[in-house]
Structure 1
C-alpha cells in the first residue's frame, strides 16, 4: 500500500477510534448496551441494502442511513403482524428468527442483483457513508450521555411509556394486557413502544436501559436522516460538475438540516430568553426567568387565556425523555419523506406515458412503483405508531403524486387525474389492509369525537414568534422561484412551470407548503376529544405542528442555501444571511434546555447511568423492595392490585415498573382510551372496597371477579386510604409473600 493511502487510512481511523474510546469513557458500564444497539443497527442496515439500494438507487449513498430504519420497520412490523394474528408468540426467539429469515431473503435478492449487474452498496461514495456513520455515532452518543444525567422513567407521562414497554416485555401476545385496565388490552397507539421492545428482545438487552436508549437512538437518527436527505437535494441542485468550496456545500447544508430538525429550538427562545431579558437589564428592571418548556406552552399561556395549546418539537422531546408515539415515529416519517424524494427522482428520469407504453404496461408500471408501495406500507404502519402521521403524510404523499403526475403526464388533465386517483387509492387500500390486525381491535371513538370549527385563534405575534422564521424563509424562496421561472413566457402554464423547476427545489416547496398548511389548520378547525374545556385545540395543534417543524427544518435550511448560494438578488441574499443568523441563535435553546434538565453535563462524575428504574431507590424507597420482588418472581401476566390515582401522579408505580396489570390506573388516560366513565368510576370504587371493606365475602368476590393474584400495600395505598386501610383483612386473603418490616410494605398472594 502506498504511503499516501496509508496516511489517508490512518486519518480515517482516528476519528472512529476517538469516538469509540470517548463512548467507553463517558458511558462507563452502559457502553456495552450502547455498542450493542449501534452494531445491531449497522448490521440490520447492511442486511437491508439490497432492498434499500434499489429504493434509493439515485442517491449517492443509496439510502445507507435510511436502510437502518427500513430494516427495523420490516423486521419489526413482520414480527408484530405474525404475533398479532396468533401465528407466533412474542419472544426473543421469534424476533431473532424473523430477522434471520428476512436477512436470508435479502441475501438472495443481493445475489440476483449481482447477476443483473446492479450494485446496491455505494462503493463510489464510501467517504460519504463513513462520514454518515461517524455523525450518527456521535449524535447517538451525545444524547445517550445526556440521558444518563436524568434517566428516571418518572414524571410527565413516562410511567405510561415505560409501563407499555414492561407490559410487552412480559407478554407473549399482542396487544398486551392494558397495565391500567386489567380486563382489556392496550387501546392506544403502542407501535412506538413496541419497536423499542422489539429491538430490546432482538439485542438481548435490558428494558431498564433501552427505555432511554431508544429515545437517544431516535435522536441520533433525527439528525442523520435529514442530513442524508438534504445532502442529496443540494447535490442534485448543484449538479455533478462542482468544484472548489462548493463541493463542501452538500455536507454543510445537510449538517445544518440535521441540526434544524433535531437540535434547534424556535424563536421563542431568542425573544423570551435573550432579547426581552436584555432589554429588561438595560432598563434596570427585574430580569424574567426562562424555563425551556415555555417554548412549547406559549399560545394560551402567555397571555393566560382559555385556549391552552401545545406546540412541541424534537429537541424538547429528546431532552424531556418521554418515549411517546410521535417521538419514535420521527424516524419513520423521515423515511417516508426520503422515499417520496427518491420516487420523484425516479419519475423525473423515467417517462411513462400512453404514447410510449402499451395501456396494460402503462398501468402496471404506474401502480407497481417500489417507492410508493413502500410508502403505502409505512402509512399503514402509522395507524399503529401515531395515527395523526397517517393523515398528515397520506396528504403529503398525494400532493407529491399529483405534482409529479402533472409533469409526467405532460399537463393532460384526464390522465393526470386518472393516474393520481389510481395511485392514491392504491396506497390507501394497501395501507388499510396491512394494518387490519390493529384497526380491528382498536376503538378510537372516544379519542376522535368529530371535527369542529376553531372558536379560539392564536394572536398574530404568537404565530410570528413560533413560525415566522421558517415561514418567511420558505415564502421568500417560493416567491424568488416563481419570479425566476415566470420570466420565461412558456412557463406560464402549470405544467411548464412545474417542469421547469428542478427536483430538489420542487420537493422543498412541497415540504414548505405542507408545513405552512399544518400550522394554519388549527386556526381553522380542530379534532374534538375529551379535552374540550380550555384545551380544545391543544392536541390538534400539537400533532400537526410537530410534523410542520420537521418539514420546516429541512425546507428552511434548503431555502437559505438556495437564496444565498444560487440566488442572485442581493436583498434576498442579505435576508438569507439574517435568517441563517437567527437560525443559529435558536440553537441556543439546546444548551439552555440541556443545562436546565440534565445539569452540569461537563462533569462526567455526575453521570448516573441509563437505568430508568434507579429512581425507585430514592423516590419510592418504601416500595422498591416489593416492586423488585414482583419483577423477579412473577413471570406471567398476573393482576396485581394497587391503589389507583390521577394521571401524571406517583400512583401506578407498581404496574408501570413491572408491566403487571392492575384493575384501574391513571384516570384521565383510561377515560381517553376507554371513554366509559361509569365503568371507570365503578372500578375505582371496587379498588377502594377491597382495600377498606370489612365485609370479607364482598372482598373475596371482588378478588375473584377481577382475577387478582397479588395485593400490593405500600406508600400510595397508605397515603390514599389512611386509617381505613384494612391490613388484617387483606393479609387474610392469602399468603404474605413479601414484607418490609421497616416500611410496613407487604404483598399478599391471593389464595
Structure 2
C-alpha cells in the first residue's frame, strides 16, 4: 500500500476518534469540569464499543453506532457548545494525545510486521471482526467456533474503528496501539493534573521507564538485542511486562489494549473521591455510569483486570461512603456508588450468558518470587516509597517487624512490600496517592501468596497470574509513586518553577529524543519495512503468500479455509491470521487453553487436515465436514504434507508464484 494511502488511513482513523471525542465532550463538561476534554477520549471509545457490540449482537451494521454521536454532535453544535474560545483552552490535552499517538506510530512504522509472538492471533481476531462483525465474533483458528471462549472486546473496538474509518486490518493493526497509548497518556496526564499542582506530567513517566532489571541486564553484559526481552522474564518462570516493553514489543494483546481503560477507571475513582460532595446528583450519575461502563468492559477486554479493579472500585466507594457518614449524609448521597457493580454486570449481560470458559480456582503459592528478582521488577516504586517514608520509619522503627512473619513463612518478597504498606496504612492522613500505594502494594503481596490455577503446568504455574497482575500493579504503583515524588519536588526550595520558554524548549528536546529513538535502536527484527502495512513484508519474505493472501482478503462471503497446521508461535496459520477467514484449526495450543479437549477435537482436526492434503479420496468429504469452501496450497503446505489432491470436486480459483487456492465445486 502506497505511503499516500497509509497517510490517508491515519487521517481517517484520527478523524473518527476526534469526532467521537468531540461529540461527547460538551456532555461531560458539567460533571467532569476541566477534565471533560481528556476524559472524553476514553469515554467515547467505550461508548462507541458498547453501541457497536449491541449492533453486532442484533446483526445490525456497526456503522449505526455513529448515529448517536452524530445526533449528539449536531445538538451541541446547535447549542453553540463548540466555541473556539473554549476549545483553545484544551490544546494541552490534544497535544499530549497526539504526541503519544505519533510516538507509538513511529515505533510501529519502524517495526510494523505481523510476524511473531502474539501478532498472528491479534491480527487474526481483528481481521475476523472486520470480515464479519457479529457477536460473538467468529474464531479464525477454529472453523465452526466463535470467540465466546476468550475476551475479545479490544479487538472488537479496533475492528469497528477500522470499519467505520475505512482502514483495512493490516493498517488498523498498527494504528491501534498508538490509540491505546495516546488515550492512556492523556488520561494519566489528567490524573497528574488532578493530584498535583505542579510537575503534572511526572506520572507519564510510567510509559517510558524501563524496570530496574533492564539496567541490570546491561550491567551484567547482556546484548542490546536481548536486554528488553530478558527484563520481562526476571522473576523465574513468569512474565513481568511493563508498558515500555509492551508497547515496544507491539503485540495488540488484551493486557496492552486494556491499559487505556485501566487508567480511565483510576481517573474516575480518584475524581469521585476528590469531588463527590461538590457534585450534583445528575453529575454523580453520569460519572458513576462511566465508571460502571469502564468496569463492565473489563471482563470483555482483559478479564484479569476485573479481578483487580472490581475490589478497588468497591474500596473507593466504601471510602467515600465512610466519609459521607461521618458528615451525616444519608443513602441518597451515595446510592449512585452502590449502583456501579450491578450496572457493570448488566451493560454486557449477554456476554456472560454466552461465555464458555472456566478457571481452576485460587491456589497458594509454594514457590514465591526471589526477593532480588522482585526488586528488579518493582524496585523503583519500593525505593520511592521508602525514601518518602524515612521520617516515619525513624519515628516508628518497630513497624518494620511486620516483615518478620512473611520472612519466616518464606515470602521475603511479600515482606518487602509489606513494610511500606503498613507505614502508609498507619498514617493519619490518607491522600489519594497513598491510597493508590496501599492498593498497589496489596496487589503485589496477594500475587506473592496466591495464584489463579490454569493449564500452564507445574513449571509455569504462576506465569499468567504474575503476567496479568504485574502490569496493573506497575500502573497503580507508578501513578502513586510519581505523584508523591511530584508533590515532594514541588515543595518550596526544591525544584524552582521554570519559565515557560525554557520549559517549552526542554519539553521539545525530550519529545524529539523520544521520536528519534525508534530509528536508532534495533526494533525491526530484520524486517524493517518502514511502513504501516503489517503485511508489506510478505512481498519479499513470502512472495507466494503475498498474492494468495491479497486475493483472499478481497473475497466476500462466509468462507472457511483449509491450511497447514504447524504448532503455535510460528508462521503456520498465517492464512487465517492474515485474512480472518476461519481455518479448521489454527494454533492448537491456544485453542486448547481456551476450549479444553473434552470432545477430542485436538487430535481429530490435526489428522483430518493431513488427510485432506494427502488422501484425495477423503479431501472433499472432510472439507464438507467442516463446511470448508477453500483449500490453500502454498510452500508450507507442500513442505508439511505430501500434497495429493483429487482430480474432481475442486476448482482452482487462484494460482501464482507457487501458491494455489482451490474452491470446493458445487
**Smaller-chain TM-score bracket:** 0.7 to 0.9
1:691-748 CA-to-partner distances (Å, cap 9, x unmatched) read 1125x2x433322221111111112211211xx3213x2x5331111123x5264434
Inter-CA distance 421–228: structure 2 relative to 1 (3 Å threshold):
closer
Structure 1, unaligned stretches of length 5 or more?
Answer: 1-25, 236-248, 278-285, 301-307, 353-364, 485-496, 571-583
**Structure 1 residue aligned with 2:261:** 332
SS in 2 for 1:747: strand
**Structure 2 residue aligned with 1:296:** 232
CA distance in 1, matches of 2:376, 2:607: 47
1:300-336 CA-to-partner distances (Å, cap 9, x unmatched) read 1xxxxxxx10111111111111101121111111111
Inter-CA distance 341–498: structure 2 relative to 1 (3 Å threshold):
farther
CA distance in 1, matches of 2:83, 2:377: 41
**Structure 2 residue aligned with 1:261:** 206
**Structure 1 residue aligned with 2:314:** 398
1:308-457 paired onto structure 2 within 5 Å: 308-349=237-278, 369-410=285-326, 426-445=339-358, 448-457=359-368
Inter-CA distance 212–658: structure 2 relative to 1 (3 Å threshold):
same
1:63 aligns with 2:24: no
CA distance in 1, matches of 2:631, 2:243: 40
Shift of 1:132: 2.3
Structure 2, unaligned stretches of length 5 or more?
Answer: 396-424, 496-509
Say which of 630, 638, 649 aligns to 1:710. 630
**Structure 1 residue aligned with 2:597:** 676
Inter-CA distance 44–700: structure 2 relative to 1 (3 Å threshold):
closer
CA distance in 2, matches of 1:429, 1:65: 26
SS in 2 for 1:526: strand
TM-score by length of 1: 0.76
1:526-561 CA-to-partner distances (Å, cap 9, x unmatched) read 111110231111111111110111122221211112
1:403-444 CA-to-partner distances (Å, cap 9, x unmatched) read 2222221188xx99x899966653222111111121111112
CA distance in 2, matches of 1:366, 1:48: 16
1:520 aligns with 2:445: yes
**Structure 2 residue aligned with 1:4:** none
1:541-690 paired onto structure 2 within 5 Å: 541-566=466-491, 595-598=521-524, 608-632=530-554, 634-676=555-597, 678-690=600-612
1:104-129 CA-to-partner distances (Å, cap 9, x unmatched) read 146547878x9xxxx898967944x2
Inter-CA distance 371–234: structure 2 relative to 1 (3 Å threshold):
same
Say which of 62, 66, 85 aligns to 1:99. 66
CA distance in 2, matches of 1:174, 1:322: 23
Say which of 126, 129, 149 aligns to 2:110. 149
Say which of 32, 35, 39 aligns to 2:8. 32
Q: Is the 8 A contact 1:49 1:120 kept in 2?
A: no
RMSD of the TM alignment (CA)? 3.5
Q: Is the 8 A contact 2:112 2:534 kept in 1?
A: yes
1:489-504 paired onto structure 2 within 5 Å: 501=429
1:210 aligns with 2:182: no
TM-score by length of 2: 0.85
For these two proteins, the number of residue pairs brought into alignment is 620
1:157-207 CA-to-partner distances (Å, cap 9, x unmatched) read 111110111111111422222111111111211111111111111212222
Inter-CA distance 137–367: structure 2 relative to 1 (3 Å threshold):
closer
SS in 1 for 2:586: coil
Shift of 1:594: 6.9
CA distance in 2, matches of 1:220, 1:172: 25
**Structure 2 residue aligned with 1:135:** 96
Q: Is the 8 A contact 1:180 1:663 kept in 2?
A: yes
Shift of 1:470: 0.7
Inter-CA distance 631–382: structure 2 relative to 1 (3 Å threshold):
same
Q: Is the 8 A contact 2:151 2:301 kept in 1?
A: yes
**Structure 1 residue aligned with 2:418:** none
Q: Is the 8 A contact 2:110 2:519 kept in 1?
A: no
CA distance in 2, matches of 1:157, 1:124: 43
CA distance in 2, matches of 1:154, 1:607: 12
1:231-246 paired onto structure 2 within 5 Å: 231-235=193-197
SS in 2 for 1:566: coil
Inter-CA distance 150–410: structure 2 relative to 1 (3 Å threshold):
same
Bigger Rg, which one: 1
Shift of 1:134: 2.1
CA distance in 1, matches of 2:245, 2:520: 9
Shift of 1:396: 1.3
CA distance in 1, matches of 2:361, 2:209: 34
Q: Is the 8 A contact 1:643 1:687 kept in 2?
A: yes
Q: Is the 8 A contact 1:617 1:624 kept in 2?
A: yes
Inter-CA distance 124–475: structure 2 relative to 1 (3 Å threshold):
farther
